[in-house]
Structure 1
Amino acid sequence: MNDHDGRSCLVIGGSSGIGRGACLALAAAGANVAVHGLDEGEAAEVAASIQESGGRAIAVGGDIADPETSQRAVDRTLAEFGALHSLVVSSGIQRYGDVVETSVDEWDHVFDVNVRGAFLAARTALPAIRATDGGTVVVVASVQGSASQPKVAAYSASKGALIALTRSMAIDEAAHGVRVNSVSPGSIDTPMLRASAAGVNGSDVDDVLDHWGTAHALGRVGQAMEVGEAIAFLAGPRSGFITGVDLKVDGGMMARLPAPIGVLR
């Protein structure tokens, strides 16, 4: 028996990248999956892939910063599967700049998608999740919510907010039997990361990813399915005594000190 047999999951931002990896990992573990994407057509492609493998999946589209999107996604999940056991929030955008360079519109857009979207999804989904036995929420944050690179003020602040929101929800939802955790990935080979790499001085994207991989103790960037498997674990019953945790899925990036080793002469 698979961990998620008989369970239904809604994955916000499931149409690409880490969210897509979560959808595929959850489906492989037996879950019924509602795939959300900004573009419903892209979400439908992921749902079709799950269906072709013998799983049950539906697609729903819309801007996650709009409360109607979360309501529609939850309503369709309940109508199709009869219950909602797990919510995964993986929608996110990246913008670059320090606080002077970042426009107010850019700041608001990042927080609308990354933080407001997570709040709206959780606010809408939690009543249904509370009604199940052992419901869960998993939020995709980032290592940049705990440590920062230069020029990522809005993104880093938004991911830090998600870690704090996860902690707060974990405390509040424990009384309802719902566990809430986050994952903080390092550099993961996704369309968003590749778009960032494409902007590095005209360099070859794969060469940039190889270079960025050296920041991780394992010497490479991660794959979306590797994060997806971690999400599926946290969303399932085998992690039954884990809540309020931010799980680093970062290839050892945060474990290694950058200080040089050696003796000065």
Structure 2
Amino acid sequence: MFSLQNKQAVITGAGSGIGRAVAEVFASQGAVVHAVDLNADALTAVDAAIKSSGGTIKTYPCDVTDQTQVNKIFSEIGVINILVNSAGISHIGNAANTEVADFERVFNVNVKGVYNCLHEAIPSMKKNGGGVIVNLASIAGSIGLSDRFAYSMSKGAVYAMTLSVAKDYIKDGIRCNCVSPARVHTPFVDGFLKKNYPGKEEEMFEKLSKAQPIGRMGTPREIAHLILYLSSDEASFITGSDYPIDGGAIKLNT
């Protein structure tokens, strides 16, 4: 089950965190992984990891906010069966203290970056009889989170783009869904704790973990396995849906 044998899968943000986990899981299921990330060194690391496990991967250093770069890479790739839009950044702040530059930076990566990839991938999918798109949204796009104004805005936009693409291209055989994780233990979390709570990293990690009803953070692999399902033929009846994967955060955190 969940075979992606010989599927051409483009994964943005594939150098670390959830994106890297998706790349590794997809490769293990037989996909030809096209890994896109801004960080060339991170791509080198994931390339080595996947090849050492017998997987097939090609890497593309790219700034997803630059449509010219995205167009060049997607043209080079050619046939695209699966697109996973995982590239994204976060920001801490509310509507009053979020600076214009930070707001625009989050928008450019998390919204425009997704748009750029959709804009380039969809014509290829239409030409080849269909495809699958999975976008990384967040519970921040559907519930209120303190001090996540710009980030929540961007993930709400990802959810809306998901519904729009699913509606517009259902007759072209293109399925589009999104997943909405709660807090996941990625390098971003470790960097956030080191920057904001020096010397108290373990204490704050425990506090953040316990803030979720299930009592811990998610892992990138857990998110990747849900994305694998949604990208597989076993999920062929699913489109236009958002899948919270949140340790009970939405329904149980009352």
- 2:77 partner SS: helix
Provide Cα deviations, 1:116-164, integer angstroms capped at 9, x if missing partner: 0000001001111223355100000111011122211100111111001
| Residue 221 of structure 1: how far off its partner (Å) | 0.3
**Which one has a bigger Cα radius of gyration?**
1
Counterpart-to-counterpart distance in 1, 2:32 and 2:123 = 19
* CA deviation map 1:229-261 (0-9, x unaligned): 111111111110010111111111112042xxx
Q: Find out whether 1:185 has 2:181 as its counterpart.
A: yes
Matches of 2:121 and 2:47, distance apart in 1: 20
Is the Cα contact below 8 Å between 2:13 and 2:37 reproduced in 1?
Answer: yes
Is 1:205 the equivalent of 2:183? no
Task: Describe the SS at the equivalent of 1:188.
Answer: coil
Q: Who is 1:263 aligned against?
A: none
TM superposition shift of 1:200 = 4.2
- Equivalent of residue 122 in structure 1, options 109, 113, 118: 118
| CA distance in structure 2 between the partners assigned to 1:52 and 1:25 by the alignment | 14
- Give me the whole-angstrom Cα distance separating, in 1, the residues matched to 2:239 and 2:2: 21
Amino acid at match of 1:162: V
| Structure 1 stretch displaced more, 199-208 or 168-177 | 199-208
Q: Where in structure 2 are the equivalents of 1:132-171 lying within 5 Å?
A: 132-171=128-167
User: In structure 1, what is the Cα distance between the partners aligned to 2:108 and 2:86?
Assistant: 14
CA distance in 2, matches of 1:130, 1:204: 51
Aligned residue number for residue 18 of structure 1: 18
- CA distance in 1 between partners of 2:253 and 2:6 (Å): 43
Cα distance between partner residues in 2 of 1:257 and 1:37:
34
Distance verdict in 2 for CA 1:51–1:98, change over 3 Å: same
* Helix, strand or coil at the partner of 2:98: coil
Matched, 1:241 2:222: no
| CA distance, structure 1, for counterparts of residue 76 and residue 61 of structure 2 | 11
SS of equivalent to 2:169: helix
How far apart in 2 are the matches of 1:44 and 1:50? Answer: 10
**What TM-score, normalized to structure 1?**
0.91
Task: Give 1:72 deviation, angstroms.
Answer: 2.6
The residue type paired with residue 34 of structure 2 is A
Residues in 1 aligned to 2:49 and 2:128: alpha-carbon distance in whole angstroms: 27
Higher alpha-carbon deviation: 55-64 or 212-221: 212-221
The separation in 2 between residues aligned to 1:46 and 1:76, in whole angstroms, is 20
Residue 98 of structure 1 aligns to a residue whose secondary structure is coil
5+ residue gaps in structure 2? none
Greater shift after overlay, 211-220 or 148-157? 211-220
Q: Size of the alignment, in residue pairs?
A: 254
Counterparts in 2 of 1:95 and 1:257: CA distance versus 1, 3 Å: closer
Q: Contact 1:19/1:90 (CA < 8 Å) preserved in 2?
A: yes
1:1-265 alignment to 2 at 5 Å?
3-78=3-78, 83-258=79-254
SS at match of 1:105: helix
Determine helix, strand or coil for the equivalent of 1:180.
strand
- d(CA) in 2 for partners of 1:250 and 1:134? 30
One-letter amino acid of the structure 1 residue matched with residue 119 of structure 2: R
Distance 2:143 2:199 in 1: 26
Structure 1: gaps (5+ residues): 259-265
After superposition, the Cα gap between the structure-2 partners of 1:171 and 1:203, relative to the gap in structure 1 and judged at 3 Å, is farther
TM-score by length of 2: 0.95
Q: CA RMSD in A?
A: 1.5
Quote the Cα distance in structure 2 between the aligned partners of 1:149 and 1:208: 17
